[in-house]
Amino acid sequence: MSQELSIIQLVLHASWVVQAVMVLLLLMSIASWAAIFSKLFALKRVRELNDKFERDFWSGANLNTLFANAAQKGHTSGPMERIFVAGLREYQKLRERRISDAGTLLDGARRAMRASFQREMDVVETNLSFLASVGSVSPYVGLFGTVWGIMHAFTGLASLQQVTLATVAPGIAEALVATAIGLFAAIPAVVAYNRFARDIDRVANMQETFIEEFSNILQRNVSAQPAAATSASTF
């Protein structure tokens, strides 16, 4: 490509509106890449913490011990671990009140776990809507820059006596750069959104499965140990 039609020259010679569109798209691209890397590391950590807790949970460890350890960790624990803590804490509170109805105990624990599950999913889904917005809006923003650039180019050609391809090409090329940058911003965001949406669905399915399995454990505990004769923290 000649010096006159290099990418840098095209950007520098574009109208200020097209340049503003290009800057906006570049900022959107940088922000989307930051969100992509942040989400990659966050999901990796979520999977590692959930896998570790699930191994500990099904290794036969005492549930009260797991509860105490998880409560001490606080926000450094994994999502599944916090769901477990929320469910068991509510279950123990109801047992301490000498509530003997199995349905009330299980419903209370399940509601607590569901509420914790929703909070955890809200955190996991952070920035996902931003990637969707970048992926859907960027091509149209680039197209706006292209249309404006073409209009500006043809307006400039109106005063010329003779129009050739050499006079038309630079203005059209300048305008098309905006569309190219829009696609450059949109494609990674769309690919990342689809990948993260699939990974988040898997995390959600794992945590919902855990809620059902832990609810079954609590139900067996209620059936085996009547509230009136059993300590609230015994498993």
Count how many residues are written for the chain: 235
Confidence (pTM): 0.80
Distance between CA 222 and CA 215 in Å, rounded?
A: 10
For residue 234, is it within any domain?
no
Note the pLDDT of residue 166: 59
Note the pLDDT of residue 148: 82
For residue 120, is it within any domain?
yes
Q: How many domains does the chain have?
A: 1
Residue ranges of alpha helices (H) inside 58-101 are 63-73, 79-96
Q: What is the dihedral of CA 98, 102, 106, 111, to 10 degrees?
A: -70
Distance between CA 129 and CA 116 in Å, rounded?
A: 21
**Per-residue pLDDT tens over the stretch 116-170:** 999 999 999 988 999 999 999 999 998 888 888 777 777 766 665 565 655 666 6
Identify whether the C-beta of residue 38 lies closer than 8 Å to the C-beta of residue 208: no
For residue 14, is it within any domain?
yes
Residue with tokens 């898997």: 202
Identify whether the C-beta of residue 134 lies closer than 8 Å to the C-beta of residue 189: yes
DSSP code of residue 9: H
Residue with tokens 């750069």: 177
For residue 19, is it within any domain?
yes
The model's confidence at residue 1, banded by pLDDT at 50, 70 and 90, is: very low
Distance between CA 99 and CA 101 in Å, rounded?
A: 6
Once rounded to an integer, what is the mean pLDDT over residues 8-26? 78
Closest C-alpha among 38, 86, 19, 12 to residue 192: 38
Note the pLDDT of residue 13: 67
Average of per-residue pLDDT values in the chain:
83
Note the pLDDT of residue 231: 42
CB-based burial label for 134 (10 Å; 0-12, 13-18, 19+): buried
Note the pLDDT of residue 14: 67
Domain hosting residue 216, numbered range: 3-229
For residue 12, is it within any domain?
yes
**Does position 45 have pLDDT exceeding 70, yes or no?**
yes
For residue 235, is it within any domain?
no
Q: What is the dihedral of CA 207, 209, 212, 213, to 10 degrees?
A: -100
For residue 68, is it within any domain?
yes
Higher-pLDDT residue of 178 and 48 is: 48
